[in-house]
A and B are shown apart, each in its own frame.
Chain A
């Protein structure tokens, strides 16, 4: 069945460092891909999404490109801030009648 695999965390960075969180997927058909972010004590918020191959989703300095050839949707940010400390979830959605499939989440900790 469909699945999402994220890199294990935690990821610990200094402020202004470059961030990459890897996400790969297995799916039939042409899924949509999402990144959600969860700040401490909160629910998940949609960060960005891409609905077809080669689409780039972007928001708040974060970017991810839908790569069908490598079945990947890696999250990147050029310069992280302390306020970016959170848990990041990669997710996959299709139109086969099933719910969104989430990765296990990657914890990011940014220090000043």
Chain B
């Protein structure tokens, strides 16, 4: 399978639940990203990993916890979320952070609803 695959596509969770989002890429990329896309708001960069090391955390609340066990997999662990965290969560990968001329490949996203 090629490209960036995100699972699940849809997730409904209560505010006291713990769940995880998964992202997988088979492109040989070394950088992976989590973005949040809310209605009527710009794309928000959440986390960046480069060669499995976290290089950016854009003041994301601690109820979001990323994990990057290897360059092909990225997780976003969720706990004690709020209704305003409902959004489309997008994963992306690129050749390497800092090589901006190559662009990113995005997954289809996980539509998260917090109830």
Q: Could you list which residues of chain A lie within 8 angstroms of chain B, going by C-beta atoms?
A: 31-32, 34, 36, 41-46, 49, 51, 89, 91-100, 102-105
Contact = CB atoms under 8 A, between A and B. Distances in A.
Interface in B68-115: 90, 92, 94, 97-109, 111
B44 to A, nearest CB: 10
Interface string B51-68: 000011000000000000
A39 B17 CA distance: 30
Given A42-B109, A89-B43, A104-B42, A99 B103 contact: no
A49 B42 contact: no
Contact of B98 (A45, A49, A97): A97
A51 B42 contact: no
B42 A93 contact: no
Contacts, number: 63
Nearest to B105: A46
Interface of B: 4, 6, 33, 42-43, 45, 48, 55-56, 90, 92, 94, 97-109, 111
- Counting chain B CB atoms within 10 Å of each CB, the highest count among A43, A45, A103 belongs to A43
A100 B105 contact: no
Main secondary structure of the interface of A (DSSP, over half): loop
Contacts of A44: 90, 92, 104, 106
A32 B102 CA distance: 8
A31 B48 CA distance: 20
Contacts of A99: 33, 45, 48, 56, 97
